[in-house]
Amino acid sequence: MSAHRDPWADASSRSSRTGRLARAWGPRYRQAVIIHRPAADPARLLGPWGRRPTDRLGSGLGAWLDDRFHFVRRPRVEGTWLAGAVVGPGGTWTLVDLAEIGRFRKRNGHWYRWNTATESWVPWEAAAVTEARLAGHRLERTLDRAGLPSAVEAVLVTGARTTVTCDAGQRAGVHVHAQSDAEELASRMSRRVLTPGQVGRIVAVLDPKRPLPARASG
């Protein structure tokens, strides 16, 4: 006889996790992260095929962040399309996809990928890691020129069939999150480092269609 999941137990578990974040953020918690889709987004023509790991992670954040947070899908920064960005009281975060599938590992200061044909680790250029780091730097420069808080956390987002790990004592240089890690990423954003006015002005930089908030608000 096959086992059946108890929907009430699942609901209780989700409610408990949601409750922990709700208590952290206070009574204004509403589970309604605001999603921006710039009109010039080149993936709009791709339909469902345009859903990349960052898109799935951004959608998942809607269950954990309230409407003080904004997910901007593929903003253009310094002439380069980013996969996404999140802005809220917990700061500014850039998101870049790792499109490659497989296992990747940093050891002895170098990156490697697992070669299934030879069953061994072989050198990996780690271009996506570099791009994730540069995405954060680009937005930092842009915000600094605009006179806004310029601290940016860079995130590399992996798909369902990809893992990125580091040996003990090694660091990736960016945050690494799977597309299913919305709860974990949301918990990292639980700090309060930006005012509502600062959040609004940073979002206006990323999504120029959005009206610039009055400076008196933050």
**24 lies in some domain:** no
CA 20 to chain centre: 21
**1 lies in some domain:** no
Give the CA distances from residue 142 to residues 71, 78, 138, 139, 159, in Å, rounded to whole numbers and listed in that order: 18, 7, 6, 5, 28
Beta bridge partners of 88: 91
Give the CA distances from residue 65 to residues 17, 24, 56, 136, 152, in Å, rounded to whole numbers and listed in that order: 12, 11, 15, 21, 18
**186 lies in some domain:** yes
**21 lies in some domain:** no
How many angstroms separate the CA atoms of 129 and 81, rounded?
16
For residue 11, the surrounding DSSP H or E stretch is helix 7-25
Per-residue confidence band for 134, with pLDDT thresholds at 50, 70 and 90 = very high
**162 lies in some domain:** yes
Q: What is the pLDDT of residue 212?
A: 56
**65 lies in some domain:** yes
Domain extent, residue 80, equals 30-217
Is 29 or 166 the better-scoring residue by pLDDT? 166
**40 lies in some domain:** yes
Is 100 or 216 the better-scoring residue by pLDDT? 100
Average pLDDT of the residues of the chain:
82
Give the CA distances from residue 192 to residues 68, 87, 90, 113, in Å, rounded to whole numbers and listed in that order: 11, 12, 5, 37
pTM: 0.77
User: Rounded to the nearest 5°, which phi and psi values hold at 122?
Assistant: -125, 155
How many structural domains does the chain have?
Answer: 1
Out of 63-67, 91-95, 119-123, 140-144, pick the least confident: 63-67
What's the chain's length in residues?
A: 218
**157 lies in some domain:** yes
How many angstroms separate the CA atoms of 96 and 172, rounded?
14
